[in-house]
Structure 1
Amino acid sequence: MTTANDPHPADSTRTLQAFVDQVRRAAGVGTESEAETLSRATFRQLGELISAGETQKLANSLPKELATELVATPSTSQARKVDRLTFVDAVTASTGDSDIETADARVDAVLGTLASWTPGSELDDLAQQLPDDLARSLRTS
């Protein structure tokens, strides 16, 4: 089971609850339900940006429920670039966040959690497919 001080949650457990709990703490949301909704929305949008091959590789690092969100939208063979605001705005359409600064910080929390669950080489590959302003969220976690 993951604890609040576990620096390697992926080594402890790969459950949805463990991921969501880490996001809940990092994002400062009040409930696991909010954190799960945020995580799912972020992965749906992320799946639309990265290539199909990268989507499949990244899905292997995630709990199956979140991997399903990542691959829900058929990806193209090439990564698609959007700016950070467009990405965050698309996430807020699912989460209902009305404050863009709060939403941006919460997306950072999901991406930071993803970074802690993803092997280094895979994280580097993912960062190369993201716009610089989103990739920084992976590197600063």
Structure 2
Amino acid sequence: MNRNRIQFYPDVTLLNSLNSDAERFGVAISTLVTDILKRHYGLVPELTQTHSDLNVIVFSEVIEYISKLSQGEEFDLLSASPTYAKIDMTYAGNPSAIRAKIGKTFAKSVGSKPFTKVAVNKDQNGKIIRSKNNAATYVKL
């Protein structure tokens, strides 16, 4: 995939707004800006959910799922979020990294708000325990 880098210098007000929204959506500012620009230029269908939208939905579903688990119960994102499980691995015939990006964002969020009572599930050798779908598993603390 061809990645181009663009620099821009937002004023303080815009930067604060971008930071606030990126934090609210649980995504990087670059992801948020990309989502906004794709929508603005009509590069995604009107009713298509952006990466930022999906992140919010998936995290909400995971929070609800975890709230119903007992301490010590294991889960993976595929079982915790119906939306995550339905995200296509391809988009317009090309590989799509959205599911992987959401998974990485979740993994980085483990142990911090709102996932303070979640840990990566590891064996005695410190290796991540994977589900039958080869997804990383987590445990409710």
Q: Where on the TM-score scale, by shorter chain, does this alignment land: which range?
A: 0.3 to 0.5
> Relative contact order: is structure 1 or structure 2 higher (C-alpha 8 Å, sep ≥ 6)?
1
Structure with more of its chain in helix, by fraction: 1
Q: TM-score, normalised by structure 2?
A: 0.40
Q: TM-score, normalised by structure 1?
A: 0.40
Structure with more of its chain in strand, by fraction: 2
Larger radius of gyration: 2
